[in-house]
A and B are shown apart, each in its own frame.
Chain A
């Protein structure tokens, strides 16, 4: 449980004093980012290199800090959804759900069953879309190794596009959906939508084997990924890393099964784990999770119960929901891990705004592993390790 002890186990000191490093070494400082296509946004790494080996990695963030938590204090409970869409712009559905679940817990509003089914379907579809984008960007990160990597990139974007089409049909938007609200959802399932979902899933399911042969079955891909960026399970827990990154390190833990939300307590979610904890294990877990999500959506898409999709009164005024105080926390398993929201009630607008909101971001916890796992790797592995953690900088900086 001791941070220093686990760092020694890994053989790495994240706060290495460079004055104590080998004086004969000719250290070079390399700035990686903030404007570099492989940083997945605007992350800046200050890498201290001894030859081609990374000795120490300093991480700088905040280039995309938009003050979402301060904004949330000014907006009322009913106004928050379109703002939080932009926190994790690769999986806005789960971010919306997380915030609204916390607000519902604070305000004591029940969500009807139809909306819970719809939320589950949307969360799983979002997971598939997000993991597809990860496989796509991971292959382009490995670039030359995969013959440019653009084949997998284009294939995965094609499939992700078909999921975005489903979202567009349901909500009218391709990216920033604004479809969840306090008490349920805004947009009901349209006629014929479930049929299209099933057709899309059939296509993605049949093509998953194709992605596997292009990535995990590819000899060069394996050479670049196996044994690279090993993250031990106990260090991952200590750093608060959740989601596929944690499961790839051998920890059998998934909020969908272990602290069920929505209707997951009625489903039998098969948690996908791997023991190795390296970049390759993280790939395996994500591709298997896509298959599992396809299975879950297929299982429930035809059994969505009839009924209302919103348990609260229709919003007539932005100051409609009020809380005098109280604190609530709600979380769900997003594509990157535990998407949590901590909210304290009783803020401005006579209690119609929260007093303080904190968005727990799984990407920030994932990035905090970099100073531990990067040292010792060669500079060419840096991009593979960074990409395999699946950080979304909008979520890191908020």
Chain B
């Protein structure tokens, strides 16, 4: 992806996780079932001990007009970044595709910092994390309707005043 260059991480994904597809301008996809294994491996054996960021994005369904193209159903993409906190610091970034009714494996037991970050992405984007110990809204009031950072949430959606 742009702004991040880490060929060693891509080598690791290729050799240990059998991932072949490396888009030029976006992070590689990792299956949700391998997400926790990858996080644990990076942290314990490769020095990626700094929990850097978590970004979820919402992708509405794409309907294709061509008959042989099935299009793309509605889904989330969850991007994780881990960093080596030392000289010559490297950043490892990968994406996980989560279906709209699916869940993303939580890594709170591996990285304590994931607690609030996962709550924030759930609150604003709506992606659900499985096995999170304390999943509730963090930015918006408990009774807020909807998840504002979804693409189908209009910016002028009316809402009740803060209580």
| CB-contact partner of B138 in A6, A61, A327, A328, under 8 A | A61
- Pair B112/A239 contact, Cβ less than 8 Å: yes
Decide yes or no: A1 and B93 within 8 Å by CB, A70-B155, A328-B2 being known contacts.
Answer: no
Q: Is the C-beta of B100 less than 8 angstroms from some C-beta in chain A?
A: no
- Chain B, interface SS category: loop
| CB-contact partner of B25 in A1, A255, A325, under 8 A | A325
In the assembled complex, which residues on chain B have CB atoms less than 8 Å from the CB atom of A15? 133-134
Among listed B11-19, B43-51, B67-75, interface-contacting one = B43-51
Question: Closest A-chain residue to B43, C-beta based?
Answer: A1
The complex places the Cα of A67 from the Cα of B148 at a distance, in Å, of 8
Decide yes or no: A65 and B140 within 8 Å by CB, A2-B109, A2-B110, A240-B113 being known contacts.
Answer: yes
Question: Closest A-chain residue to B144, C-beta based?
Answer: A62
Decide yes or no: A360 and B52 within 8 Å by CB, A1-B43, A2-B109, A6-B112 being known contacts.
Answer: yes
Question: Closest A-chain residue to B90, C-beta based?
Answer: A259
8 Å CB interface, B107-163 against A = 108-113, 115-117, 120, 124, 133-134, 137-141, 148-149, 153, 155
- Report the minimal beta-carbon distance from A322 to chain B, rounded to whole angstroms: 14
Q: Is the C-beta of A30 less than 8 angstroms from some C-beta in chain B?
A: no
Flag B74-86 by CB within 8 Å of A: 1 or 0 each.
0000010100011
| CB-contact partner of A340 in B1, B53, B88, B124, under 8 A | B53
- Pair A356/B149 contact, Cβ less than 8 Å: yes
The complex places the Cα of A258 from the Cα of B57 at a distance, in Å, of 29
In the assembled complex, which residues on chain B have CB atoms less than 8 Å from the CB atom of A372? 112
- Pair A327/B51 contact, Cβ less than 8 Å: no
Q: Is the C-beta of A294 less than 8 angstroms from some C-beta in chain B?
A: no
- Pair B3/A329 contact, Cβ less than 8 Å: yes
- Pair A327/B27 contact, Cβ less than 8 Å: yes
Decide yes or no: A253 and B85 within 8 Å by CB, A1-B43, A326-B2, A368-B115 being known contacts.
Answer: yes
Could you show 9 A-B contacts with beta carbons less than 8 Å apart? A1-B110, A4-B109, A62-B141, A234-B49, A238-B112, A239-B112, A326-B1, A342-B81, A356-B55
Not counting A4-B109, A65-B140, A327-B25, a sample of 14 additional A-B residue pairs whose C-beta atoms are within 8 angstroms of each other reads A2-B109, A6-B112, A69-B124, A70-B155, A71-B155, A101-B3, A240-B117, A252-B86, A253-B86, A257-B87, A258-B87, A329-B81, A342-B53, A372-B112
